[in-house]
Structure 1
Amino acid sequence: MASENRQSNINIKELLLTSGNKFSFVQANRLLNLLTKEEKTSLQEQLRIRPELSLEFPGSDVASIEEVATENGSRYLLTATFLGLYGVSSPLPTFYTENLFHEAAEDNSLNREFIDIFNNHLYHSFFKIWRTHRLGYKLFEEKDNSYMFFLYSFGGLTNENVRNNISSEYNPLRYLGILGHFPRSAYGLKTLLSDLLNLSTIKIIECQDSLLPIPKDQQFSLGINNCQLGETSHLGKEIISTNNAFTIQIGPISYDDYSQLLPNSKKFKLLHQSVSLYIDQPLIWDVELSILGEEVPGITLGKINGAQLGYDSWLLDKKASRKAVYNVRFDYIE
């Protein structure tokens, strides 16, 4: 039920015809377009637009909107206050408008109707130009799916198969501003995950140590290859690198949030998918969850939730500090 200051039902057509001057030109065109769609006709056929025959300073884009009878029924007539070939905003000399005044005084409108052929085309072209790159209009009013393709392009998601494999909880359109920004940054990833997981205690720790395999043709071979001491020689098949890995720290968090982010959980899969879509380099990463000691539950063998070795089971002394923070780190995920 509507309040005292609001209408319960709004008749758009009646409002346009009685208070057309309260609408902007574009807004009036959009509403009339919706009305003509309901009548299964095109806007260009059902709407004629002409400038106001006046030299007064206009107070709005639209002077009036009328419904006029035609041989085949009726159509709308919108009188605008700008962009016309006559009237106060005309680029032509004023005497053209004055001649139309004299003609109207004699109940004649032949010249005006001829000029309005060009005016009508001019106004419809103006509206077409306005809507050309209006994203919201193209998507929701014209239902133009090609613009959805352009949006997905910003996030690198033009492949439909990739989009179909994305979790329904992850809406890539929401994060286009982040996904379309290069180079990809730790701050961007933090912003995305904080919003997606609804957690504010997320940090991205960069430049973590990781072991990288040394290609066989680059490994140390005495007297044959890479054997210059202090320059090219390195014992082993792996080398420590700080340029290839990062850690996602989440916490301290509650036990409920903690259990929802454990491996094989729905949120963890969402986290994995989101990070994989964001990073554009072959980086290695892991997750470190932190939980407050006071949130740590006791172990009950056979319990459906809890007592998962290495995930959510702790052996604590009764006198252990409940203010301590316990960290659990999962292996690097490629």
Structure 2
Amino acid sequence: MTVIELNEKIKPSVLKYSLSQGVRVVMTYLKELYPREKPKDLYERLRFKSNPSLSFAKSELSKIEFLETPEGKKVELTLNFMGLFGAASPLPSHYCEMVLDSAREDSELKDFLNLFNHHIQKMIYPIWEKQRYYIQYQTGLEDKFSKYMLSFLGLYNETKVKSSKLNFTKLLPYIGILSMRQKSGGTLTSILRHYLNHQNLEIIQCIEMNEKIPSWQYSSLGDNNCTLGSNTLLGESVKTKGSKFQVLLKNVSFEECFTYSLHGEKMGELQELMDLALNEPLEHELCLEMKKEEIKPYQLSQHYLGINSFLGTVNEDMKIILNH
């Protein structure tokens, strides 16, 4: 696209743009012209100027013009605010009038003052961009702010992020919650629903399990741990409901049954997410609840034993429990 074509295309919309919108539109065109250059290098192709007119400014931008130079295409943006001359100048009006009068004969004074205007106005967009994460965001969490967010989870190291199975982009809204030491069942439920994109999910607490008794807590008659009602325990294990919970996924499809198995992708992600979310040494199990209508007849080479193989006719909903 030539300079003339670019100027004709952008001219009708200049007065509708704010400064940030104008810069982003110009950067889009420059990216198409120079796809290999980084955003910082493209931004250096912009030149900011002030409008010497003393009339009331209708918009932030007065003019956007693409120029052809020996170094390639560059863009001049003429601003109606924050300049050493013009309607928004902090200087006395007679200085602005002097610049306006001299601009009709030659532009030496105006060009000289625009050197200072450029360096002042050049900082406006980076300051605006710094406070807006949706502008800074880069695919793969390569931007600085995303890395700062991941550091709350101890994942500022790029090696850890790249070697992980988790999609940290999905976890960004919950980083503040994940960094908390204590998490309730409702909090964990909302995190899993969002990450797994499965709304029909529940956390069932207080699942019964057998807890092994450490050898130093064994009862030894006449020696240790033999006070009735205090520390006497019989056997090598005890039933408890305080150390295990269940992640229940309802209405799981037949295809999802495989993805949550040991051979699927989501099993590894779920396990890593639970390790990241839980600070307490709690055990958990995954329960997949399938409607009987979802279960397909067994076929050779299309089903996996112990995962999604069902023999005979299934007349009721099935629950598949996977221990981690």
TM-superposed deviation, 1:25: 1.4
Q: Give the aligned partner of residue 56 of structure 2.
A: 57
TM-superposed CA distance for 1:70, in Å, is 7.0
Change (3 A) 1:241 1:120: same
Does the 8 A contact of 1:47 with 1:78 survive in 2? yes
CA distance in 1: counterparts of 2:71 and 2:285, whole angstroms: 70
User: What CA distance in whole angstroms lies between the structure 2 residues aligned with 1:32 and 1:45?
Assistant: 12
Matches within 5 A, 1:83-122: 83-104=82-103, 107-122=105-120
Code of the aligned partner of 1:173: T
| Unmatched 5+ stretches in structure 2 | none
Q: CA deviation at 1:229?
A: 2.5
1:29-69 Cα shifts (integer Å, max 9, x gaps):
33444556646795576433222223333222100123567
Q: Which residue of 2 aligns with 1:173?
A: 169
* 1:27 corresponding residue in structure 2: 21
Q: What do you get for the CA RMSD once the two structures are aligned?
A: 3.9
Aligned equivalents of 1:258 and 1:72: distance in 2? Answer: 59
Judge conservation of contact 2:170–2:195 (CA < 8 Å) in 1: no
> Within 2, Cα distance between the matches of 1:327 and 1:44?
57
Task: Work out whether residues 50 and 78 of structure 1, in 8 Å CA contact, stay in contact via their aligned partners in 2.
Answer: yes
| 1:167-207 deviation line (CA, Å, top 9, x unaligned) | 4xx52212221244134443444344445544333211123
Moved over 6 A (4+): 69-74
Compared CA separation, residues 159 and 218, structure 1 to 2 (3 A) = farther
Give the C-alpha shift of residue 230 in structure 1: 1.9
Q: Would you say the 8 A contact 1:244–1:284 is kept in 2?
A: yes
Decide whether the 8 Å contact of 2:286 with 2:321 is kept in 1: yes
How much has 1:281 moved relative to structure 2? 3.0
Residue in structure 2 matched with residue 289 of structure 1 by the alignment: 288
Q: 2:10 aligns with which of 6, 13, 16?
A: 16
How far the C-alpha of 1:109 sits from its partner, in A, is: 4.4
CA distance in 2, matches of 1:220, 1:117: 87
Change (3 A) 1:180 1:53: same
Q: Which residue of 1 aligns with 2:155?
A: 157
Contact persistence 2:258–2:307 (CA under 8 A): no
Answer yes or no: is the 8 Å Cα contact 1:179–1:278 preserved in 2: no
Q: Secondary structure at the match of 2:250?
A: strand
In structure 1, distance between residues paired with 2:264 and 2:112 = 71
Q: Percent identity?
A: 26
**Greater CA deviation, 205-214 or 272-281?**
272-281
One-letter amino acid of the counterpart of residue 127, structure 1:
Y
- What residue in structure 2 maps to residue 232 of structure 1? 231
2: CA distance, partners of 1:149 / 1:198: 24
CA contact (8 A) 2:48 2:76 kept: yes
Equivalent in the alignment of 1:126? 124
Q: Which amino acid aligns with 1:326?
A: M
**Which amino acid in the other structure matches residue 168 of structure 2?**
P
Alpha carbons 1:207, 1:243 under 8 Å: kept? yes
| Structure 1 match to 2:320 | 328
Gaps of 5+ in 1: 1-10
Distance of aligned partners of 1:296 and 1:103 in 2 relative to their CA distance in 1, 3 Å threshold: closer
Residue 276, structure 1, aligned to residue 275, structure 2: yes
User: 2:246 corresponds to which residue?
Assistant: 247
User: Matched residues in 2 for 1:252 and 1:42: separation?
Assistant: 51
